[in-house]
């Protein structure tokens, strides 16, 4: 990059992204310039003549190169918003998706409506912690966040601090498929999970950006349902009567996952995401 001011840098960055085939070059250039130069969008509009340093030019250039190699914008920025809250992200942790706000919203609503002394919740396969931390922050309930990956758990811990919910959230390192993990935890009023659910076929056809994300957070076995088959029997037994188990699913998995809930003695219901796709299956323990 050679532009000497913010306005020029933004134009140059937009052009390089567009030439490289980026689909939303203006938006992404703004994000990168704001990130590197520490300016707001209104600064860029109102003060395009703000000078930039050689180091900032070079850094924006490095960011563009990374982006054009297919690395997700979110990893380059190092932070992404979920449900209006900030989450640190990077290699080794799944980027929070807007689809997942459906599950977070359902969980917050359930916790608010069923709040009582001793209410407790758990987020299984917590990753960045976006579901559990949002739940703790908005409904003010204690949440345990279970995650196996050491890399993901380091982001999870930073996100607990970043959102100021240290008093409510506890990161627990553990395998959600193991009975030992389940038995070591108390009974819960609310269990939420966004497990890996992509099929073997999906995994072969991943978009370039998604290939940068951890396979362990995505791959759900041949038909994508491995985690539901193993987790729902194990964890529905850890629900208090009247408690709710809610799981995000992939498009079209509702019939299979609802059947698994019903085999575990829970009448299953669903919730659609903002695109109208059935995105969450949930059941209440009798
Ligand atoms: N929704 C993610 C995707 O589309 C998948 C996340 C998951 O498997 N839980 O890539």
Expressed in angstroms and rounded, the spacing between residue 218 Cα and the centre of ligand 1 is 6
Look at residue 243 in the predicted model and tell me its pLDDT: 98
Tell how far the Cα of 66 is from the centroid of ligand 1, in angstroms: 22
Element containing residue 244 per DSSP (H, E): strand 239-248
What pLDDT is stored for residue 33 in this prediction? 98
Inter-residue contact 108 to 119 (CB < 8 Å): no
Give pLDDT tens digits along the chain (286 positions): 899 999 999 999 999 999 999 999 999 999 999 999 999 999 999 999 999 999 999 999 999 999 999 999 999 999 999 999 999 999 999 999 999 999 999 999 999 999 999 999 999 999 999 999 999 999 999 999 999 999 999 999 999 999 999 999 999 999 999 999 999 999 999 999 999 999 999 999 999 999 999 999 999 999 999 999 999 999 999 999 999 999 999 999 999 999 999 999 999 999 999 999 999 999 999 9
CB contact at 8 A, 87 and 129: yes
Mutate to test the pocket of ligand 1, among 89, 95, 96, 97 (most ligand atoms within 8 A of CB): 97
**Hunting for tokens 């041949």 — which residue is that?**
222
Cβ neighbors of 62 (< 8 A, separation 6 or more) are: none
Whole-model pTM: value is: 0.96
Residues near ligand 1 (Cβ within 6 A): 97, 99, 194-198, 210, 218
**CA 50 / ligand 1 centre spacing (Å):** 40
Query: DSSP assignment of 179-217, as one string?
Result: HHHHHTS--EEEEEE----B-HHHHHT--HHHHTS-GGG
SS3 168: coil
Dig out the tokens for 111 from the structure: 């916790």
For a ligand 1 pocket test, name from 100, 197, 280 the mutation site with the most ligand atoms within 8 angstroms of its C-beta.
197
Q: Which residue of 200, 218, 280, 281 sits with most ligand 1 atoms within 8 Å of its CB, as the best mutation to test the pocket?
A: 218
């Amino acid at each position: 990059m050679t532009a000497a001011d913010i306005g020029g840098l933004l134009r140059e960055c937009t052009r390089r992204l567009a030439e490289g085939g980026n689909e939303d070059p203006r938006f992404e250039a703004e994000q990168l310039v704001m990130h590197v130069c520490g300016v707001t969008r209104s600064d860029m509009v109102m003060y395009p003549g703000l000078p930039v340093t050689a180091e900032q030019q070079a850094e924006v250039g490095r960011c563009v190169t990374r982006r054009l190699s297919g690395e997700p914008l979110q990893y380059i920025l190092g932070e992404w918003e979920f449900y209006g809250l900030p989450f640190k992200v990077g290699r080794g942790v799944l980027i929070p998706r807007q689809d997942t706000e459906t599950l977070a919203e359902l969980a917050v609503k359930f916790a608010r409506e069923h709040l009582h002394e001793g209410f407790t919740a758990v987020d299984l396969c917590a990753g960045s912690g976006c579901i559990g931390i949002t739940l703790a922050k908005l409904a003010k309930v204690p949440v345990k966040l279970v995650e196996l990956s050491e890399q993901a758990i380091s982001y999870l811990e930073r996100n607990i601090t970043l959102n100021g919910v240290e008093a409510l959230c506890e990161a627990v390192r553990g395998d959600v498929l193991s009975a030992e993990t389940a038995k070591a935890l108390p009974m819960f009023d609310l269990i939420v999970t966004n497990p890996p659910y992509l099929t073997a076929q999906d995994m072969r056809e991943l978009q370039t950006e998604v290939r940068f994300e951890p396979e362990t957070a995505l791959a759900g076995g041949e038909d994508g349902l491995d985690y539901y088959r193993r987790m729902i029997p194990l964890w529905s037994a850890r629900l208090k009567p009247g408690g709710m188990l809610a799981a995000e699913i992939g498009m079209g998995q509702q019939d299979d996952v609802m059947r698994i809930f019903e085999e575990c003695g829970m009448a299953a219901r669903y919730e659609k995401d903002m695109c109208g796709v059935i995105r969450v299956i949930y059941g209440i323990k009798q």
